[in-house]
Amino acid sequence: MKKLNFGIIGCGRIAHKHAEAIKKNEKANLLCVCDILEERAAEYKDKYGAEAHFTDYRKMLEYSGLDVVNICTPSGMHAEMGIAAAQAGKHVIVEKPMALSLKDADDLIGACDESGVKLAVCFQNRFNPPVQKLRRALEEGRFGKLTHASAIVRWFRPQDYYDQAPWRGTRAMDGGCLMNQSIHNIDLLQWMMGPVESVFGYTATNLRKIECEDVGVAVLKFKNGALGVIEASTTIYPENLEETLNIFGEKGTVVLGGIAVNKIETWKFADSTDENGAIDQHQQDVPNVYGFGHDALVEDFIQAVTNDSKPYIDGWEGRKALEIVKAIYFSVTSNKQMLFS
């Protein structure tokens, strides 16, 4: 089987997870990398054994043999680069959020459809074993009627994190703790609970000197009648505390926790009283908040390209969490409840 040739655009904070996932996969080859800083691009090329490096992503898109582009740049650049890659005939894996506006997200989806290339969004926590187990329980109807849920991200990002680059914490390129950090958990919340009917939110910039929020909260009503709560922050002293997903129903309660929703903390269902063994085999130890989901995401994408099937988290799936965050922001600026169609 011919290996798929990957290229990474943006060699910053998250790029190493993509590079490592590509290098681990026997069906993939890291062909080239790109970063506006020549030194960093060259360092990535040497570290991960790529064939070439670039400082202009459009030049990289012209490189012979390139099949897939992984976009790991600041969020405000995702749509533009993804559209250019699609128009060049390259398949696209884009880090979260896929864009900073719904129009840009739709334009990216449309460009990939028009060019006949695959698009996947990096919500890698969907692949976590505890998350997969929870999803199966929902699909099997074990919760009965869902009553409410919460997605909580209590993390720490010091001021020097934002000061590393001028784009961090800006509306044009980054977003705040809801758009950047909490969007992973918001994705899981809506994936488990279903479509949203309405949302009302508050945000604040309490501690960090940034344009966007460092604390955000929201209440949601889902179309199935269940209620939801979102809490996000990058102000927790003195370090990351938790990323927790709580799902409650008439016949079941599940709490996923750990630093990357990688642990089952509570698992109770009316149809079973002893699942300790099953729970233990789904626990996952991870070294950081990124977890191991990029490995599974890259493998799934290779299968989608090879078999001409839909990626597990395609553009339309990736758009859903973005729509919720944008609705929260609208609610904050208008001081009104945001209704979904």
Each residue of 98-125: pLDDT tens digit?
999 999 999 999 999 999 999 999 999 9
- β-strands 68-71, 4-9: how paired? parallel
314 within domain boundaries:
no
Q: Which of these ranges, 47-51, 240-244, 330-334, has the smallest mean pLDDT?
A: 240-244
231 within domain boundaries:
yes
335 within domain boundaries:
yes
Q: Give pLDDT, residue 291.
A: 60
267 within domain boundaries:
yes
Please check whether residues 199 and 243 belong to one and the same domain: yes
Residue 286 has pLDDT above 80, yes or no: no
Which helix (H) or strand (E) segment holds residue 294: the answer is helix 293-307
Please check whether residues 31 and 143 belong to one and the same domain: no
Q: How confident is the model at residue 260 (pLDDT cuts 50, 70, 90)?
A: confident
Residue 279 has pLDDT above 80, yes or no: no
Report pLDDT digits (tens) over 165-218: 999 999 999 999 999 999 999 999 999 999 999 999 999 999 999 999 999 999
Q: If you ran DSSP here, which 8-state letter would residue 213 be given?
A: -
Please check whether residues 74 and 174 belong to one and the same domain: no
CATH number at residue 17: 3.40.50.720
Q: Give pLDDT, residue 277.
A: 45
Q: If you ran DSSP here, which 8-state letter would residue 235 be given?
A: B
Once rounded to an integer, what is the mean pLDDT over residues 301-305?
A: 98
Report pLDDT digits (tens) over 230-239: 999 999 999 9
Q: Contact, 202 vs 217, CB < 8 A? A: yes
Say how many C-beta atoms besides its own lie within 10 A of residue 220's C-beta. 28
Looking at every residue in the chain, the average pLDDT score rounds to: 94
Residue 229 has pLDDT above 50, yes or no: yes
Say how many C-beta atoms besides its own lie within 10 A of residue 274's C-beta. 7
Q: How confident is the model at residue 282 (pLDDT cuts 50, 70, 90)?
A: low
Determine if the pTM surpasses 0.75. Answer: yes
Q: Contact, 310 vs 317, CB < 8 A? A: no
Q: Determine the Cα angle at 36 with ends 32 and 40, to 5°.
A: 65
208 within domain boundaries:
yes
Structural domain count, the chain: 2
Once rounded to an integer, what is the mean pLDDT over residues 39-68?
A: 98
User: In terms of residue numbers, what domain contains 65?
Assistant: 4-117
Structure tokens at 208: 């960090």
Tokens 């490592």 appear where? 20
Q: Give pLDDT, residue 68.
A: 98
What is the rounded distance in angstroms from the CA atom of residue 292 to the CA atom of residue 269?
A: 28
Please check whether residues 92 and 147 belong to one and the same domain: no
Rg of the chain on CA atoms, in Å: 20
